[in-house]
Structure 1
Amino acid sequence: MSIHTFQLHDLEIGTLHDLLLDAVSDTKWKIKELRQTFDQTDQAALLEKLSSIEFNKARLETYTELLEQIDSSWCPDE
């Protein structure tokens, strides 16, 4: 898995919004899978799910940083 690297000027707000929603949805799904795996006490599968959640956390952090950059660089018309 790899995290996409975006340049701020390459992104549109709608695209970033879609990426965030996808990452949140995927993270929710991975947490649900993690709970099911934990119930089955399969350690190898549990570690795999934890790794996947860490990846999604990194995605969310990356997208959040981009939103903050957009927010700080946005100047409303006066």
Structure 2
Amino acid sequence: MANEQELQSLFNNLDRDQDGKVSINELFLSPGLSAIISSETNTSSPQELLARYGLGEDGSITFEELKQAVEKANNLT
């Protein structure tokens, strides 16, 4: 289980272009980090994460959306 600070750090590492959103491409570029996100959100793939938890119209997820996904999966400490 991640706390908010750890989740923010993970998000920042995934957000390679630092635009405040993590795209599906960024998730695929970091398979190890993506696997952590999947386990924290109880999803099996980046596509499932984005489809289940607030896929933005642009195919990305913000930190707040990711935080909500982790909270819904009861994995935020």
Normalising by structure 2, report the TM-score.
0.31
Larger RCO (CA under 8 A, 6+ residues apart): 1
Normalized per residue, the structure richer in helix is 1
Greater Rg by CA: 1
Normalising by structure 1, report the TM-score.
0.30
